[in-house]
Amino acid sequence: MNVFDVVFRNALAKEVVFSSVFNFLLDKNESHGMGSLFLDQLLDAVPDDKLVGTLRTTFTEWEAVEPEKDLGPRVGRVDSLLSMQNKKGDRTLWIATEIKIVDALAKNVTKEGTQVARYVRAITAERGTDFLFLYLVPSNESRYAIGQFQATMEKLPQEQRDRCFLLFWKVGNGNPTDRKHACTASVEEILRNVLRKDGEGLITPLSTEVRLVLKSLIQTVRLGFNRPVETYVPGRFPDRSEYLANIPGTHRELYEFLEELTDGRRRVSAANTSIGFPHRRQPEKGAYNTLFRVLTMTRYSKQASGIGESDYARTLIVECVDEVYPSQEFWNEVQKQFSGVANVEHGKVHPNESGKEKAVWLVFNPDLPKGDVEHVKENLAGFIESLRKEFNVWTTSASFMEEAGTKG
């Protein structure tokens, strides 16, 4: 039995779950009984012996492992932060780890810079050079994550760059990565090594439960954090609870606010890839009445075998039909209105079987700070009001009249 099957039972894997697992293994005081073994193995994989040696001899006193550590306004929350002190207690080291289980979610850029740049900048402001930053991504095939990391490294000062490293969940078939900044062992390899040491009696024996967790995690990593596809029901898409569980907490607040603005709670069908929001509560029979949609999927597949992890909406995405809202001037204003918190993306298509309906997506940044939510709600209220006006303009257009006449 893979213990993580309970995660996959009604939904896909959640990044927050595996961040929690990582923090559980990292904390020497947790019930796994491994002490600091996991951390020791991670440090062994860092390709800078001099830096690691200095860290190990200088910072020997444990403080805490903090999950979702808030690094400040417009920066975001790093998934794992271990604090350690020197013996005198006058210096503190931060070992920070940002965790990705899906390569596509590494595309996290705001006007403040890439996620890696924002985090390293905030950590440096707090700790100077007393830090180690690990960017844990699916594998050496994760081109978006690796590309973002490498682009960021080119812009960082040398003393910061030398404390940042790529760590992989597993080793794939990707091209060789800059060895100076890539850890020499993946998490999968580290876990295998722990089990090997346990089997050979080289460490304090692990409990049966912990061995099961480690073996389950290895299998889950090897499967790319996906349960075998044949366990899914063909054509099944997220229902309301699954969709809301897939997106960040701040995005859930915004989604529920959209429902408040448009006559209340919407029905979410597992047979559809989106949630429709109406223009009018009681439209004329046969009239087009979709003011906008919220996507639960970014791509359609008739069979489960065609659905990948990156096809599920992991952020709030508001979709508007291109034909109804064709004004570039309108969308330029929307982009200004949501600058720094969301991006307008043209050239999209509605994710259904036909794939012919052209659309515009308003895609919200995954690391939207809690403190920005109320301000974004104000902008959303204005955006919905603007959509209503544009919708009314469209219903008086020649193309609409022609189409309505054809249907009549």
Structure tokens at 393: 């303009």
Q: How confident is the model at residue 21 (pLDDT cuts 50, 70, 90)?
A: very high
Phi and psi angles of residue 33, each rounded to the nearest 5 degrees, phi first = 75, 10
Q: Is 10 exposed, middle or buried (0-12, 13-18, 19+ CB in 10 A)?
A: exposed
The reported pLDDT for the residue numbered 240 is 86
End-to-end CA distance of the chain: give it in Å, rounded.
59
**Does the pLDDT value for residue 54 go beyond 80?**
yes
State both tokens at 370: 């809690």
pLDDT score for 286: 64
Structure tokens given for 116: 């890696």
Is the pLDDT assigned to residue 33 strictly greater than 50? Answer: yes
> CB count, 10 Å around CB of 289?
15
Bridge partner residues of 348 (DSSP) = 359
Based on the number of CB atoms within 10 Å of its own CB, is 145 exposed (0-12), middle (13-18) or buried (19 or more)? buried
Tokens describing residue 280: 């009018």
Q: What is the pLDDT of residue 404?
A: 45
Tokens, residue 149: 């990391």
Q: What is the pLDDT of residue 376?
A: 95
pLDDT over 70 at 283, yes or no:
no
Higher pLDDT, 400 or 294: 294
pTM: 0.58
Backbone dihedral angles phi then psi of residue 227, each to the nearest 5 degrees:
-70, 150
Q: What is the mean pLDDT of residues 372-397?
A: 92
> How would residue 119 be classed by pLDDT, with cut points 50, 70 and 90?
very high
Which of 19-28, 176-185, 338-347, 362-371 has the least mean pLDDT? 176-185
pLDDT of residue 231: 42
From residue 93, how far is each of 52, 86, 97, 131 by CA, in Å? 12, 8, 13, 5
Q: Which pLDDT belongs to residue 407?
A: 41
pLDDT one-digit tens code per residue, 218-255: 999 998 887 654 444 544 788 888 898 889 999 999 99
What local confidence, expressed as pLDDT, does residue 229 receive?
45
Instruction: Please report which residue ranges of 101-207 form alpha helices under DSSP H.
Output: 115-127, 143-155, 158-161, 187-199
pLDDT at 157: 93
pLDDT tops 50 at residue 14: yes
CA-to-CA separations, 17 to 100, 101, 105, in angstroms, rounded: 11, 10, 15
The string of pLDDT tens digits covering residues 64-90 is 899 999 999 889 999 999 999 999 999
- Across the chain, mean pLDDT equals 88
pLDDT in the model for residue 294: 97
Cα–Cα dist 294/258, whole Å: 10
Decide if pLDDT at 405 tops 50: no
pLDDT (average), residues 125-139: 95
Domain ranges of the chain: 5-227, 240-407
The angle formed by the CA atoms of residues 269, 275 and 278, to the nearest 5 degrees, is 120
Share of the chain above pLDDT 70, in %: 91
pLDDT tens-digit readout, 290-340: 999 999 999 998 877 678 888 999 999 999 999 999 999 999 999 999 999
